[in-house]
Amino acid sequence: MPNKLQNFAKRLLIWFATDGRKGLPWQRNSDPYPIWVSEIMLQQTQVVTVIPYFERFLTQFPSISALAQAPIDDVLHIWTGLGYYARARNLHKAARFIEHEHGGQFPQKVEQAVALPGIGLSTAGAILSFAFGQTHRILDGNVKRVLCRHQAIDGWPGKTKVHKDLWVLAGKLTPNGQVAQYNQAIMDLGATVCRRSKPDCQACPVRDDCIAYAEKTVALYPTPKPKTSKPVQQTYMLISVNKHREVLLERRPPTGIWGGLWCFPETDVVEHLTIAQRLPEFRHTFSHYHLDIAPVIINAANKNTTHERIEEPRQTQWCNPASPPAVGYAAPVKKLLAILTEQTIAMG
């Protein structure tokens, strides 16, 4: 390793002592449970968004045991709005596993940690280094960006070969001591200095040997994912209203899009239904496709109600849009419940 790279960690640690992020809610102590919850929430979400969700989650489920004993609906309810709901389902599953197989204690061996649902090598490394001071490398989105720029690594980091190279490099740079601080430091550098847009290279402690900075090619790294245009799908959301002005919700199957969340029933065709009112269409975008949603209000007294459309019986419930029960909702459903609360629901 070139001389300069050898003190990469040292320079980061010095920077971290004065400029690193401290006092985040999951940094209050080294209990692995809040650290684990925060790592999962932070996987696809920014710190500022995560903080209120994290606080509510820990208030509602203060321990692994409490999370393991909670119904999945309660967990999804707290998660509503944070997206990527598989994360919540995996947390819940993993808590139950830890409760039964590890006596409620988060496992300290990396192979046991990665065996838990939703925990990959990098997340396991972060949790075990922060909670127990163990030496593990991490490679989240922030770290990838720093390394790609610093070493001018070409290729989209999602590619197996590029990912492998980055994993090896992360291992070479990770020091043996002060690993928790180092891992936090490199994450913080990516989040606050080596930002996705407008990186603040002037404030960077590893600028001296940053190849992209020297070559004025920072904006080219990391190589973006090859573009594919997202397909568009369409659906009708059926808002079935009864005489009490309640709407019918059904729980989606546990796996797949919006797994386990409560939604309006969906259909591709509405010609056979008597529509009382059409609400404005809107688009919801997933990572792999766009979903154009056309909400239609139908009168539950109609013969062709949603019940007949559903081939397999699903759990359903009537709810008042103004005071929906504390369960998990898909984001468009939450939005529609708010719209329905504000306007008078048409009755067929």
Work out how close the CB of 22 gets to ligand SF4 at its nearest, in angstroms, rounded to a whole number.
Answer: 20
Q: Check if 39 is active-site.
A: yes
Work out how close the CB of 146 gets to ligand SF4 at its nearest, in angstroms, rounded to a whole number.
Answer: 5
**Nearer CB in complex with ligand SF4: 202/287:** 202
Work out how close the CB of 189 gets to ligand SF4 at its nearest, in angstroms, rounded to a whole number.
Answer: 7
| Residues in a beta bridge with 295 | 237
**Nearer CB in complex with ligand SF4: 199/260:** 199
3-class secondary structure per residue, the chain: CCHHHHCHHHHHHHHHHHHCCCCCHHHCCCCHHHHHHHHHHHCCCCHHHHHHHHHHHHHHCCCHHHHHHCCHHHHHHHHCCCCCCHHHHHHHHHHHHHHHHCCCCCCCCHHHHCCCCCCCHHHHHHHHHHHHCCCCCCCCHHHHHHHHHHCCCCCCCCCHHHHHHHHHHHHHHCCCCCHHHHHHHHHHHHHHHCCCCCCCHHHCCCHHHCHHHHCCCHHHCCCCCCCCCCCEEEEEEEEEECCCCCEEEEECCCCCCCCCCEECCEECCCCCCCEEEECCCEEEECCCCEEEEEEEEEECCCCCCHHHHCCCCCCEEEECCCCCCCCCECHHHHHHHHHHHHCCCCCC
Work out how close the CB of 193 gets to ligand SF4 at its nearest, in angstroms, rounded to a whole number.
Answer: 5
Interhelix angle 32-42/47-60, rounded to 10 degrees, is 140
**Nearer CB in complex with ligand SF4: 79/213:** 213
**Nearer CB in complex with ligand SF4: 128/186:** 186
Work out how close the CB of 200 gets to ligand SF4 at its nearest, in angstroms, rounded to a whole number.
Answer: 6
Catalytic member of 39, 55, 101, 311: 39
Are residues 237 and 302 in contact, defined by beta-carbon separation less than 8 angstroms? no
**Nearer CB in complex with ligand SF4: 113/212:** 212
Torsion of CA 318, 319, 324, 327, to 10 degrees: 0
**Nearer CB in complex with ligand SF4: 209/246:** 209
86-91-96 Cα angle (round to 5): 125
Work out how close the CB of 175 gets to ligand SF4 at its nearest, in angstroms, rounded to a whole number.
Answer: 18
Work out how close the CB of 213 gets to ligand SF4 at its nearest, in angstroms, rounded to a whole number.
Answer: 4
Interaction site with ligand SF4 (CB under 6 A): 146, 149-150, 193-194, 199, 201, 204, 206-207, 210, 212-213, 218
**Nearer CB in complex with ligand SF4: 206/296:** 206
**Active centre residues (catalytic):** 39
